[in-house]
């Protein structure tokens, strides 16, 4: 075999190896993330709703913070979208997240990537702004449009998904607007009818699909047992349109 042929073979093999290396590098390169730090697909979403229409005791607020941190640390996977919404009088007109970002990886292969950069990204883009949204002072407002906010959320991409969604609500669940109120209610069925009438042609209750709903009830001094039963009946109906293998409705009480 002539030297020219040998050189040609070597050049051809080198070109093939180089092409293979470039293809492998392209395949191994992580997909670009969007403005919320999310990839093209989001396997799971966690939506946290904070009712800021009334103040809460210090120990109750701390329990809210602890429950959120425990959820993020133990059940939210890397790449999952976490969003935080607050309910106030403004929620009837404008419902935008106080925080929304996909949980970044904070642990990686030290031989292939900078673990310091991963940790910094996790802290600056995710952990610190999330904690700021959860720890923000609760100012209170004249109205508590819980139902309207949840209906709007159910129609948004933050809740709607092809995967799994967990909706976590922290509230006293005492709906109060100029059209409807759960204060002084004594019949769940009458409260439901009154609420449906107040909605007119608008959507009365949200439609969920495969949503795990957790309600954390903030205690209020002065709420009678009768009002509590009426409230519980109303919200069991309100969240009743949910289907899918992960569809659940779990109410629990907060200390305070």
User: Would you say residue 37 lies in a domain?
Assistant: no
109 and 185 together in one domain: yes
Other CB atoms within 10 Å distance of the CB of residue 157: 10
Same domain, 109 and 209: yes
> Is residue 16 predicted with pLDDT exceeding 80?
no
**How far apart are the C-alpha atoms of 183 and 227, rounded to whole Å?**
7
Give which of 74, 39, 80, 66 is closest to 164, Cα–Cα. Answer: 80
Residues 61, 100: one domain? yes
Q: How far, in Å, are 33, 173, 220 from residue 223 at the CA level? A: 47, 11, 6
Domain co-membership, 89 together with 19: no
* Domain assignment present for 4: yes
Which token pair is 196? 């449906």
- 15 in the same domain as 134: no
Q: How many domains does the chain have?
A: 2
Q: Are 182 and 227 in contact (CB under 8 A)?
A: yes
Q: Reply yes or no on whether the pLDDT at 237 is more than 50.
A: yes
Query: What string of DSSP letters covers 22-63?
Result: HHHHHHHSPPPP-TTS--S--SEEEEEEEE-SS---HHHHHH
Mean pLDDT of the residues in the chain? 85
Task: Convert the pLDDT of each residue in 97-152 to its tens digit.
Answer: 999 999 999 876 665 677 788 899 999 999 999 999 998 876 667 678 899 899 98
Residue 82 and residue 25 share a domain: no
In a domain, 128, yes or no: yes
Q: What three-state secondary structure class fits 112?
A: coil
Q: What domain range is 18 assigned to?
A: 1-30
Angle at 16 between CA 10 and CA 22, to 5 degrees: 135
How far is it, in rounded angstroms, from Cα 149 to Cα 152? 5
185-224 burial code (b ≥16 CB/10 A, e <16): beebeebbebbeebbeeeebbbebbbbbbbbbbbeeeebe
How far apart are the C-alpha atoms of 39 and 79, rounded to whole Å?
A: 7
Please report, for the domain that includes residue 124, its CATH number: 3.40.50
Task: Give yes or no: residues 164 and 203 share one domain.
Answer: yes
Say what percent of the chain tops pLDDT 90.
52
For residues 83 and 148, state if they share a domain: yes
8 & 98 share domain: no
Which is nearest to 236 in space by CA: 200, 192, 202?
Answer: 192
Is 67 in the same domain as 188? yes
Residue 75 lies inside a defined structural domain of this protein: yes
Q: Are residues 226 and 190 in the same domain?
A: yes
Assess whether 68 and 143 both reside in one domain: yes
Task: Tell me the whole-structure pTM to 2 decimals.
Answer: 0.84
Residue 39 belongs to some domain of the structure = no
What pLDDT, on a 0 to 100 scale, did the predictor assign at position 89? 56
Contacts of 78 (CB under 8 A, 6+ apart): 103, 104, 105
> Using CA atoms, how far apart are residues 239 and 249, in angstroms rounded to an integer?
7
Radius of gyration of the chain (CA): 25
* Residue at 38 is within a domain: no
Among 13-27, 38-52, 69-83, 105-119, whose mean pLDDT is lowest? 13-27
- Look at residue 182 and tell me if it is in a domain: yes
* 231 found inside a domain: yes
């Amino acid at each position: 075999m002539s030297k020219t042929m040998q050189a040609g073979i070597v050049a051809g093999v080198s070109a093939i190896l180089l092409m293979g290396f470039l293809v492998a590098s392209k395949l191994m390169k992580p997909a670009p993330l969007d403005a919320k730090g999310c990839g093209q697909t989001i396997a799971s979403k966690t939506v946290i709703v904070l009712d800021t229409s009334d103040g809460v005791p210090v120990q109750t607020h701390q329990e809210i913070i602890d429950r959120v941190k425990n959820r993020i640390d133990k059940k939210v996977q890397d790449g999952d979208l976490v969003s935080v919404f607050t309910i106030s009088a403004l929620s009837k007109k404008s419902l935008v997240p106080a925080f929304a970002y996909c949980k970044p990886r904070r642990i990686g292969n030290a031989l292939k990537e900078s673990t310091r950069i991963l940790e910094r990204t996790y802290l600056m883009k995710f952990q610190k702004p999330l904690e700021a949204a959860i720890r923000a002072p609760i100012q209170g407002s004249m109205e508590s449009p819980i139902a309207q906010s949840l209906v709007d959320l159910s129609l948004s991409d933050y809740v709607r998904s092809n995967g799994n969604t967990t909706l976590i609500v922290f509230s006293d669940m005492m709906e109060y607007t100029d059209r409807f109120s759960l204060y002084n209610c004594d019949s769940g069925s009458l409260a439901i009818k009154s609420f449906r009438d107040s909605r007119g042609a608008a959507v009365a209750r949200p439609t969920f699909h495969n949503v795990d709903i957790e309600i954390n009830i903030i205690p209020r001094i002065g709420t009678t047992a009768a009002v509590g039963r009426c409230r519980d009946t109303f919200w069991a109906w309100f969240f009743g349109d949910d289907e899918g293998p992960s569809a659940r409705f779990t109410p629990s009480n907060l200390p305070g």
